[in-house]
C-alpha cells in the first residue's frame, strides 16, 4: 500500500486542495484509479519507507516525510509535497480519515478529532474506526468500511448511494451522530476508493461534513416556506384574512429571508383589498351586464318588430305599386272620359244654346197663340151675341107663329093657308131654336175649351219662360261645367303624370324598403348575437361574482 503521504495527496486531490504547483511534481494526480476518471498516482516509495510510514502511523518523523531527496533512490521517485502527511490532512477543513485494504486507520485529521472527540493517537493503526467515529456505538461499520469490502459494488452489496455528479467512483450518504460534546449533529459523508497506477486497490478516503447549521437553516427555510405556502393556500381557499406568522427561534435565517413573511402579508392585504374592490366592481358589473342584457333583448325584440314592420311596408309598397299602376290606368281612362265629357259639355252647351233659341221662339209663339185665342174668344163672344139674337128671333118667330095660328083659328077656313105658313115658320123657328141651342152649347164648350186652352197656353208660356230661364241657367252651368271639365281634364292629366312619377318613386321606395328589410334582418341577427353574447357574459360575470363572493366570504 502507498504511504500516508500518498493518501494525504489523495484527500487533497479529492477536495481540490493540493498545495501550490511549486511544491507538486508532475507525477502527483487525482483520486480515482484507472478507468474510473482521474487517476490516483501515489508516490513511488521503497518498501522500507512504506513500512516505516505504516509503523509510525503517519508520524512526521517517518522516513521520506520531509527528506525524500536524501533517501536512497530519491532520484527515481517523484517530488513530494512541501508539507508532511499529518499537516496536509490537518489543513483540510473537514473531518477526513482513510482506511487501508485491511480496515486499518491510516489518516485521522484534526477535524476528525474535533468532531468525534477521539485523539489521533487512539485511532491510527486500529481496525475499528466505527468505534472512534460513532461514540454511541450505533453502527458496526462506517461507509469507508463498506467501500473497503466492496470498492466498486458497495451500492449493490450494502445499498449505499453512488454519486452521479462525478466521473469517478464515490459513495455518499447522510446521517446523524453524537459529536464530541454529546450533541446530535447532521452529517453528509463520502467514501472514495483509491487505486495505484496498476489498478491495485490502496484504500478508502472518507470525508465527513457537519451539516447541522445547513440542515437547521434548511429546516428553518422549509418551516418558513411551509408557513408562507400555508398562508397562500388559505388565501387561495378564500380565507383572505389569513396572514403568515413566523419566529426564527434558532437565528438560522437571514433577515432578508424573514422579510418574505412581511412581503407575503403585504401581498395578502393587497389581495384582500383588490378582491374586495373586485367584488364591488363585479356586483356593479353584474348589474350593468344584466341591464345591458335586458337592453340587448329589448333591442332584439325591437329589431324583430322593425323587421316585421319593414316587411309589412314592403308588402304594402308592393300593393301600393300595383294600385298606382291601376290608378295610372284609371287616370288615363278618366282623362279620356274627361276629354269626352268636355266634348259632350261643349256639345251640350251648343244644344242648350239651340234649345234656348227654340224656347225663346216657342215662348214668342205661345204669346202669339194666347193673343190669337184671346181674339178668338172675342169673336166667339160676338158669335154668342149673334146666337143670342137668333135665339131671340126664334123665340119671337115662334111667338109670331103661335099668334098666327091663333089668328088662323079665329078666322077659320080663311086662315088655313096662313096657318100652314105659321106652322112652317113655327117649325123653322123650333128648328132654329134647336140649332141655336146646339150652337150655344158648342160655343159654350168652345169657350170652355178656349178658356182651358188659354189657361194651358198661359201655364205653358209660363213654363216655357221658366224653361227658358232654366235653360239659360243650364247653359251657364254647362259653360261652367265645360270649364270645370276642361280644368279637370288638365288636372287629371297632371295627376296621371304625377302618378307615373309617384309610381316610379314607389318602385324606388319599394326597392329601398327591401334593402332596409335585408339590413333589418342583418341588424336583427347582429343584435341577436349581441344579446346572446351579452347573455353569455352575464352568466360568466354572475359566476365570477359568485366565485368572488365565495372567495371573499369563505373565511
Asked whether the predicted pLDDT for residue 71 surpasses 50, the reply is: no
pLDDT category of residue 429 using cuts at 50, 70 and 90: confident
pLDDT of the residue at 293: 73
Question: Average pLDDT for residues 268-273, to the nearest whole number?
Answer: 82
Please, which residues have CB within 8 angstroms of residue 153's CB and are 6 or more apart in sequence? Answer: none
Instruction: Please give the domain boundaries of the chain with CATH numbers for all domains.
Output: 4-210 (3.30.450.20), 280-553 (1.10.287.950)
- Owner of C-alpha cell 480519515: 97
Asked whether the predicted pLDDT for residue 209 surpasses 90, the reply is: yes
Instruction: Evaluate whether 214 touches 186 at the Cβ level (below 8 Å).
Output: yes
pLDDT of the residue at 61: 39
Asked whether the predicted pLDDT for residue 497 surpasses 50, the reply is: yes
Question: Average pLDDT for residues 424-431, to the nearest whole number?
Answer: 79
**Proportion of the chain above pLDDT 70, given as a percent:** 73
pLDDT of the residue at 166: 94
Question: Average pLDDT for residues 133-157, to the nearest whole number?
Answer: 89
Most confident of 287-291, 431-435, 498-502: 431-435
Question: Average pLDDT for residues 300-325, to the nearest whole number?
Answer: 73
> What average pLDDT does the chain have?
74
Q: Are strands 161-162 and 171-178 parallel, antiparallel or unpaired?
A: antiparallel
Question: Average pLDDT for residues 94-123, to the nearest whole number?
Answer: 94
The dihedral sign for the CA sequence 164, 170, 171, 177: negative
Asked whether the predicted pLDDT for residue 148 surpasses 50, the reply is: yes
pTM, 2 dp: 0.39
Residues in a beta bridge with 428: none
Asked whether the predicted pLDDT for residue 171 surpasses 90, the reply is: yes
Question: Average pLDDT for residues 197-216, to the nearest whole number?
Answer: 91
Cα–Cα distance measured from residue 278 to residue 272, given in angstroms and rounded to the nearest whole number = 10
- Owner of C-alpha cell 396572514: 243
Asked whether the predicted pLDDT for residue 287 surpasses 90, the reply is: no
Residue-wise pLDDT tens digits, 31-49: 333 333 333 333 333 333 3
Residue-wise pLDDT tens digits, 508-552: 767 877 787 777 778 778 777 877 787 787 778 777 777 777 766
Most confident of 8-17, 203-212, 308-317, 328-337: 203-212
Cα–Cα distance measured from residue 555 to residue 550, given in angstroms and rounded to the nearest whole number = 9
Asked whether the predicted pLDDT for residue 554 surpasses 70, the reply is: no
pLDDT category of residue 206 using cuts at 50, 70 and 90: very high
Report which secondary-structure segment, H or E, holds 508.
helix 416-553
pLDDT of the residue at 4: 43
Helix (H, G, I), strand (E, B) or coil at 356: helix
pLDDT of the residue at 143: 94
**Proportion of the chain above pLDDT 90, given as a percent:** 17
pLDDT category of residue 106 using cuts at 50, 70 and 90: very high
Asked whether the predicted pLDDT for residue 18 surpasses 50, the reply is: no
pLDDT category of residue 553 using cuts at 50, 70 and 90: low
Question: Average pLDDT for residues 92-97, to the nearest whole number?
Answer: 94
Of 79-83, 292-296, 323-327, which gets the smallest average pLDDT? 79-83
Specify the DSSP class assigned to residue 83: S
Helix (H, G, I), strand (E, B) or coil at 108: strand
Question: Average pLDDT for residues 156-177, to the nearest whole number?
Answer: 94
154 or 491, which is more confident = 154
pLDDT category of residue 411 using cuts at 50, 70 and 90: confident
pLDDT of the residue at 36: 37
- The secondary structure of 259-324, three-state, reads HHHHHHHHHHHHHHHHHHHHHHHHHHHHHHHHHHHHHHHHHHHHHHHHHHHHHHHHHHHHHHHHHH
Residue-wise pLDDT tens digits, 52-68: 333 333 333 333 334 43
Largest CA-CA distance found in the chain, in angstroms, rounded = 258
Instruction: Evaluate whether 8 touches 85 at the Cβ level (below 8 Å).
Output: yes
- Owner of C-alpha cell 493518501: 7
Residue-wise pLDDT tens digits, 222-269: 887 888 898 888 888 878 888 888 776 767 677 877 788 888 888 888
495 or 9, which is more confident = 495
Most confident of 165-174, 425-434, 481-490, 491-500: 165-174
pLDDT category of residue 190 using cuts at 50, 70 and 90: very high
pLDDT of the residue at 25: 32
pLDDT of the residue at 83: 53
472 CB-contact burial (10 Å; exposed 0-12 / middle 13-18 / buried 19+): middle
Residue-wise pLDDT tens digits, 116-134: 999 999 999 999 898 888 8
Residue-wise pLDDT tens digits, 333-385: 766 766 776 777 677 777 767 767 877 776 777 777 767 777 777 877 777 78
Question: Average pLDDT for residues 426-442, to the nearest whole number?
Answer: 80
Amino acid at each position: 500500500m502507498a504511504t500516508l503521504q500518498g493518501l494525504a495527496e489523495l484527500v487533497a486531490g479529492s477536495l481540490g486542495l493540493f498545495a501550490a504547483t511549486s511544491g507538486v511534481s508532475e507525477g502527483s494526480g487525482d483520486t480515482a484509479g484507472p478507468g474510473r476518471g482521474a487517476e490516483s498516482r501515489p508516490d513511488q516509495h521503497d518498501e522500507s519507507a512504506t513500512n516505516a510510514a505504516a509503523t509510525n502511523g503517519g508520524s512526521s518523523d517517518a522516513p521520506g516525510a520531509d527528506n525524500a531527496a536524501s533517501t536512497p533512490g530519491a532520484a527515481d521517485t517523484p517530488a513530494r509535497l512541501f508539507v508532511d502527511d499529518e499537516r496536509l490532512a490537518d489543513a483540510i477543513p473537514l473531518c477526513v480519515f482513510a482506511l487501508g485494504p485491511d480496515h486499518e486507520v491510516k489518516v485521522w485529521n484534526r477535524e476528525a478529532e474535533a468532531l468525534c472527540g477521539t485523539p489521533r493517537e487512539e485511532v491510527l493503526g486500529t481496525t475499528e474506526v466505527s468505534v472512534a467515529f460513532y461514540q454511541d456505538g450505533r453502527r458496526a461499520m462506517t461507509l469507508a468500511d463498506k467501500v473497503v469490502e466492496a470498492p466498486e459494488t458497495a451500492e449493490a452489496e450494502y445499498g449505499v448511494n453512488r454519486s452521479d455528479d462525478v466521473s469517478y467512483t464515490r459513495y455518499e450518504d447522510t446521517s446523524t451522530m453524537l459529536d464530541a460534546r454529546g450533541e446530535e449533529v447532521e452529517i453528509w459523508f463520502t467514501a472514495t476508493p483509491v487505486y495505484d497506477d496498476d489498478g491495485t486497490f490502496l484504500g478508502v478516503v472518507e470525508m465527513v461534513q457537519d451539516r447541522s447549521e445547513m440542515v437547521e437553516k434548511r429546516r428553518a427555510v422549509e418551516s418558513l416556506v411551509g408557513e408562507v405556502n400555508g398562508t397562500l393556500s388559505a388565501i387561495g381557499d378564500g380565507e383572505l384574512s389569513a396572514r403568515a406568522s413566523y419566529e426564527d427561534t434558532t437565528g438560522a435565517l437571514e433577515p432578508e429571508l424573514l422579510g418574505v413573511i412581511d412581503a407575503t402579508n403585504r401581498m395578502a392585504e393587497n389581495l384582500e383589498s383588490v378582491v374586495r374592490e373586485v367584488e364591488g366592481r363585479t356586483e356593479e358589473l353584474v348589474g350593468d351586464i344584466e341591464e345591458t342584457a335586458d337592453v340587448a333583448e329589448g333591442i332584439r325584440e325591437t329589431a324583430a318588430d322593425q323587421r316585421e314592420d319593414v316587411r309589412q311596408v314592403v308588402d304594402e309598397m308592393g300593393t301600393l305599386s300595383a294600385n298606382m299602376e291601376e290608378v295610372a290606368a284609371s287616370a288615363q281612362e278618366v282623362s279620356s272620359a274627361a276629354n269626352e265629357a268636355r266634348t259632350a259639355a261643349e256639345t251640350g252647351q251648343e244644344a242648350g244654346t239651340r234649345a234656348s233659341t227654340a224656347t225663346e221662339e216657342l215662348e214668342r209663339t205661345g204669346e202669339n197663340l194666347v193673343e190669337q185665342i184671346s181674339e178668338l174668344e172675342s169673336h166667339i163672344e160676338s158669335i154668342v151675341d149673334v146666337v143670342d139674337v137668333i135665339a131671340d128671333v126664334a123665340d119671337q118667330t115662334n111667338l109670331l107663329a103661335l099668334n098666327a095660328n091663333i089668328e088662323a083659328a079665329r078666322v077659320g077656313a080663311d086662315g088655313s093657308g096662313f096657318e100652314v105658313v105659321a106652322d112652317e115658320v113655327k117649325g123653322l123657328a123650333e128648328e132654329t131654336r134647336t140649332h141655336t141651342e146646339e150652337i150655344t152649347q158648342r160655343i159654350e164648350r168652345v169657350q170652355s175649351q178656349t178658356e182651358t186652352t188659354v189657361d194651358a197656353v198661359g201655364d205653358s208660356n209660363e213654363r216655357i219662360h221658366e224653361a227658358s230661364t232654366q235653360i239659360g241657367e243650364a247653359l251657364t252651368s254647362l259653360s261652367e261645367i265645360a270649364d270645370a271639365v276642361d280644368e279637370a281634364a288638365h288636372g287629371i292629366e297632371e295627376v296621371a303624370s304625377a302618378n307615373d312619377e309617384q309610381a316610379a318613386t314607389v318602385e324606388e321606395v319599394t326597392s329601398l324598403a327591401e334593402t332596409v328589410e335585408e339590413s333589418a334582418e342583418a341588424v336583427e341577427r347582429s343584435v341577436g348575437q349581441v344579446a346572446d353574447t351579452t347573455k353569455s357574459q352575464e352568466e360568466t360575470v354572475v359566476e365570477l361574482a359568485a366565485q368572488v363572493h365565495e372567495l371573499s366570504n369563505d373565511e
